[in-house]
Structure 1
Amino acid sequence: MDKSLLFFVGFSCFLLIHGVKAEDCNHLTETDNTRFQSFKALVPEEQPYRTAYHFQSLKNWLNGPMYYNGVYHLFYQYNPHSALFGEGMVWAHSASYDFINWISLDHALVPSEPFDAISCWSGSTTILPGNKPVILYTGIDANYNQVQNLATPKNRSDPLLVEWVKYSGNPLMTPPNGVNGDNFRDPTTAWQGPDGTWKVVIGSYSNKQGVAILYQSKDFVNWTMHPEPLYSASKTTMWECPDFFPVSITSTNGVDASVANPSVRHVMKASFNSHDYYIVGTYDNEQEKFLPDADFTGTSSDLRIDYGKFYASKTFFDSKTNRRILWAWVNESDSSEDDKQKGWSGLQAIPRKVWLDRAGKQLVQWPVEELNNLRDNQVDIYGKHLARGSIFEVSGITASQVDTEIMFELPELEETGFMDTSLVDPHLICDRQDSSVTGKYGPFGLFALATKDLKERTAIFFRIFRSDNRYVVLMCSEQKRLVTGSFHNYPQLCYESSTLI
């Protein structure tokens, strides 16, 4: 075993500031300028805790991303009436040419018909042959049942795809026998089989199992439920926002959803228990079965996309750069009263490129490279020796959000404490041992949002253990606050991280 450990950690430590970066009007025509609102102009100065690196709606409660004809589109769940979730949810719509500057467009879908009278809930976009984008979405109908509907652009030559038309024959899919009307939602991006048949998965819960119900269609309008689900799991609850996509075993490049051959494996992802879980396996498109390497267990050993505030993630294939890009909703942790007071709730996580690791067992992810364009006023520190118990303050940074890259080198790790990963839950170590509990190697890391006396701080720290013939690196975080009043007095740290070891 090596006697030293070198690893790189990239933090995106984005503390709340003045809103999403405003749109770049140089990309827009005069006609375009009449159809969107400026984020910057509508974000009041009295909202200092809004994000600037993350996409965030202008106000209120914050589905299916897509790349089409040179433009990135983000459709997202939005409550136009409140900072809390409720009836009347719509598909808000924003567009970007570069993942950084976002144009706020008119809502793409709003409740207007019997099949979506109560709300327009989540769904996905698919690009059909002939470069035709379509939306499949869950409508809450007048009887409060969840049904699946189709919408198409009114004008495909419009680069921003502002107007969408709902199919007159909606709904296309209704809850089947054995499925409650409130357990049938969130269609995935559709994929096409070798015979041209379209397939899509609907999230559900039936017979005490989380279920990926499979539907098939020749024309994308008339859908038939397959006799057996693509996959089901007894140790899970209702599946929300499922995702099913291929990942290359030979490259970090993404592949289109319809690719199914020996060069790819498949990922099945589902949102339940307030987290996003996934399994990796093989897709048999003849038998229409997903065969995972391991089932969901309902324990902490299940693979998660992210271990922070992160839910309802969705991927799409970026044909411009051959990337599979993942986005998710960060549902924050403020109280309902605080959400009402500040006027918004929720934001989008930073978009990430995802690919399969070398062992073919789990996903690897990294923030998209476009985010590097947001970096400014760089501060560099090299070769700093951190003695046990020492605290080093990084000077030259006054912004309320910072993007940090750190490389730690730890020599002579022979005496590192042992962890039996088959018996010990790593999550419990992070929960029970905060940054003040000293171990053989760790904790070490960063204090962010720290007061001078360190009574209020957010610690992002690491612990290192030995397990069989490898090292185990735990990344933990903790918040300590001085609760002195409203949310204005103790802003949260919204951070994301990526680790290469």
Structure 2
Amino acid sequence: MIYKGLYHLFYQYNPNGSVWGNIVWAHSTSKDLINWSHHKPAIYPSQPADKLGCWSGSATILPDGKPAILYTGINPQNQQVQNIAFPKDLSDPYLVEWEKSPSNPLMAPTTSNKINASSFRDPTTAWLGSDGMWRVIIGSKIDRMGMAILYRSKDFLQWEKAEHPLHSAKDTGMWECPDFFPVSTNSDMGLDTSKNGANVKYVFKVSLDDTRKEYYTIGTYDSSKDIYMPAEGSIEYDTGLRYDNGKFYASKTFFDSAKNRRILWGWINESSTVDHDVKKGWSGVQAIPRSILLHKSGKQLVQWPVKEIENLRHGQVDVPNMVLKGGTKVKVSGVTAAQADIDISFQVKNLEKAENFDSNHAHPQDLCIHMVASAKGAIGPFGIMALASENLEEYTSVFFRILKDHNNSHVVLMCSDQSSSSLDKSNDMANYGVILDIDPTKEKLSLRTLIDHSIIESFGGNGLGCITARVYPTKAIEDEAHLYVFNYGEEDVQVSSFSAWNMKKAQIN
């Protein structure tokens, strides 16, 4: 949230270890979303309603400007219940001290409301209806049906469960970290969570506990019936629309009222073993915050790193336009490749040789598992090799392939290939993929990639597809990390533009 000009990030944290457990709400503040100062935990077990843990939730800014946090607590019976906390001193822009309501829990499973006490968590930011009633949803399930349980309140303290959920879907399992927010159909501005009416669509996102992946749908919200309806043809599972097709989970958005934008935060979980996490002393990081908008097609969202990240850029390196012959790679000099921001665009003029594939029976991730960077194709793979060792014993590649669908239209596949990312084979080195809604006969293929030692966040097609990789090279570290641009396909590829920047370290206390 933003309060008195300061951004506040609250996040799940274990003060006693590097892996999950003893969960409290850690708290950091920033003026620019990039450089952060830590504070003491904002919320920690101190009441019967949260004795066994203070789990995830959301902040809501009330009409008088006062923030409120709704969060899931674990009570002594190991039930998941919903609690509230308010700032102790509203004149403190850092909001260091928080007070819990003596009325906690405000929402709890009972024998009459038929709520699953072990699957009732992660309240969203609340929204205010035209009737003056607040609404909030909480993730849950009954058997295999995922659902967003809806509650209403007049005063934000007394909450009543609605007769029906805001939305539900069969065979999806537990819905964690739901998010529900409006997007504009005719503006690049973000919208306050309570906005509804003309020129507004709604986004509904859930994190699937079963698969540890997220999906979202775009649809409409009937505020009179309190029902969300995904657009016709929406896929309600992790094979549907996703913010990020890589390591990205438990995401949450907020409305940045200072700059009228909606900001997405996502958690990058580890690809290493628990033993490795304990050894290195930490696990889990936040992705670079992203601004999100509805694409002009109205069919999906687009994402882009917040503008502020560019303040860390220095030492720009530009590569002149060039043609990458098939089967070639070019080393990029002058870039500190372990910490860089890369922006590149490609163009392929001859698409006649594009390979055929059946999009009805091929998932992008499966394609990228088989079509690795070293597997030469007709048009592609072409892209970058990041965090590459001198002799390419280790590298992570992010690339495109252009294929031809069964109806003879061109398809752009974007892959992030971790299969050669580390000589330590105990890591999860899965490949990830996404198909971009781009016509390569009319548009150049753009790729923006943020590299930070063990993290590679890639944005294809100006944010139409995003893939985050979590990798642990043993040789390609610090000054021994290199960057290549490559084309292992048969057809030549034009590099239309290429700019890279070294990145300063963000200031964290």
Taking structure 2 as the reference length, the TM-score comes to 0.82
Matched, 1:83 2:22: no
Structure 1 partner of 2:140: 204
Q: CA deviation at 1:297?
A: 4.5
Matched, 1:320 2:258: yes
Q: CA deviation at 1:298?
A: 6.0
CA–CA separation in structure 1 for the residues paired with 2:233 and 2:165: 15
CA–CA separation in structure 1 for the residues paired with 2:114 and 2:327: 59
Matched, 1:483 2:419: no
Q: 1:474 pairs with 393, 396, 413, which one? A: 413
CA–CA separation in structure 1 for the residues paired with 2:260 and 2:358: 39
Matched, 1:69 2:4: yes
What are the residue-to-residue correspondences of 1:427-438 with 2, within 5 Å?
Answer: 427-438=365-376
Structure 1 partner of 2:437: none
Q: 2:196 pairs with 223, 243, 260, which one? A: 260
Structure 2 partner of 1:498: 459
Secondary structure of the corresponding residue to residue 437 of structure 1: coil
Amino acid at match of 1:201: I
Amino acid at match of 2:288: I
Q: CA deviation at 1:262?
A: 1.8
CA–CA separation in structure 2 for the residues paired with 1:333 and 1:159: 37
Secondary structure of the corresponding residue to residue 445 of structure 1: strand
Q: 1:167 pairs with 89, 101, 126, which one? A: 101
Structure 2 partner of 1:406: 344
CA–CA separation in structure 1 for the residues paired with 2:105 and 2:240: 35
What are the residue-to-residue correspondences of 1:137-216 with 2, within 5 Å?
Answer: 137-176=71-110, 177-216=113-152
Query: Deviations along 1:90-143, whole A, 9 cap, x unmatched?
Result: 000000011121110111001011000011000000000111110000001111
Q: CA deviation at 1:484?
A: 5.9
Q: CA deviation at 1:301?
A: 3.8
CA–CA separation in structure 2 for the residues paired with 1:170 and 1:366: 38
CA–CA separation in structure 1 for the residues paired with 2:336 and 2:204: 42
CA–CA separation in structure 1 for the residues paired with 2:238 and 2:13: 31
Structure 2 partner of 1:98: 32
Q: 1:239 pairs with 175, 194, 200, which one? A: 175
Structure 1 partner of 2:186: 250
- Stretch deviating more after TM superposition (319-328 or 411-420): 411-420
Q: 1:373 pairs with 277, 287, 311, which one? A: 311
CA contact (8 A) 1:233 1:296 kept: no
Unmatched segments (≥5 aa) in structure 1: 1-65
Q: 2:360 pairs with 422, 432, 453, which one? A: 422
CA–CA separation in structure 1 for the residues paired with 2:235 and 2:342: 35
- Give the direction of change, closer, same or farther, for the CA distance of 1:157–1:470 in structure 2 (3 Å limit): farther
- Give the direction of change, closer, same or farther, for the CA distance of 1:84–1:482 in structure 2 (3 Å limit): closer
Q: CA deviation at 1:253?
A: 1.0
CA contact (8 A) 1:300 1:425 kept: no
CA–CA separation in structure 2 for the residues paired with 1:484 and 1:312: 27
Q: CA deviation at 1:172?
A: 0.2
What are the residue-to-residue correspondences of 1:341-356 with 2, within 5 Å?
Answer: 341-356=279-294
CA contact (8 A) 1:279 1:294 kept: no
Amino acid at match of 2:254: F
Amino acid at match of 1:495: I
Secondary structure of the corresponding residue to residue 308 of structure 2: helix
Q: CA deviation at 1:436?
A: 1.3
Secondary structure of the corresponding residue to residue 139 of structure 1: strand
RMSD: 1.8
Matched, 1:224 2:160: yes
Q: CA deviation at 1:235?
A: 2.8
- Give the direction of change, closer, same or farther, for the CA distance of 1:483–1:227 in structure 2 (3 Å limit): same
CA–CA separation in structure 2 for the residues paired with 1:375 and 1:179: 50
Taking structure 1 as the reference length, the TM-score comes to 0.83
- Stretch deviating more after TM superposition (310-319 or 97-106): 97-106
Matched, 1:458 2:396: yes
Unmatched segments (≥5 aa) in structure 2: 428-451, 463-509
Matched, 1:114 2:48: yes
Q: How many residues align?
A: 432
CA–CA separation in structure 1 for the residues paired with 2:150 and 2:366: 37
* Higher RCO (CA 8 Å, separation ≥ 6 residues): 1
CA–CA separation in structure 2 for the residues paired with 1:411 and 1:136: 54
CA–CA separation in structure 2 for the residues paired with 1:222 and 1:292: 30
Structure 2 partner of 1:357: 295
Structure 2 partner of 1:15: none
More strand by share: 2
Aligned residues: percent identity? 51
Structure 2 partner of 1:45: none
CA–CA separation in structure 2 for the residues paired with 1:271 and 1:395: 40
CA contact (8 A) 1:458 1:493 kept: no
CA contact (8 A) 1:315 1:326 kept: yes
Structure 2 partner of 1:12: none
- Give the direction of change, closer, same or farther, for the CA distance of 1:228–1:295 in structure 2 (3 Å limit): farther
- Stretch deviating more after TM superposition (169-178 or 116-125): 169-178
Q: CA deviation at 1:175?
A: 1.9
CA–CA separation in structure 2 for the residues paired with 1:239 and 1:296: 17
- Stretch deviating more after TM superposition (375-384 or 226-235): 375-384
Q: CA deviation at 1:399?
A: 4.7
- Give the direction of change, closer, same or farther, for the CA distance of 1:226–1:482 in structure 2 (3 Å limit): closer
Q: CA deviation at 1:178?
A: 2.8
Q: 1:124 pairs with 54, 58, 66, which one? A: 58
- Give the direction of change, closer, same or farther, for the CA distance of 1:470–1:257 in structure 2 (3 Å limit): farther
CA–CA separation in structure 2 for the residues paired with 1:111 and 1:294: 44
- Give the direction of change, closer, same or farther, for the CA distance of 1:241–1:405 in structure 2 (3 Å limit): same
Amino acid at match of 2:114: G
Q: CA deviation at 1:398?
A: 3.2
Structure 2 partner of 1:333: 271
Q: CA deviation at 1:482?
A: 5.2
Q: CA deviation at 1:359?
A: 1.5
Secondary structure of the corresponding residue to residue 309 of structure 1: coil
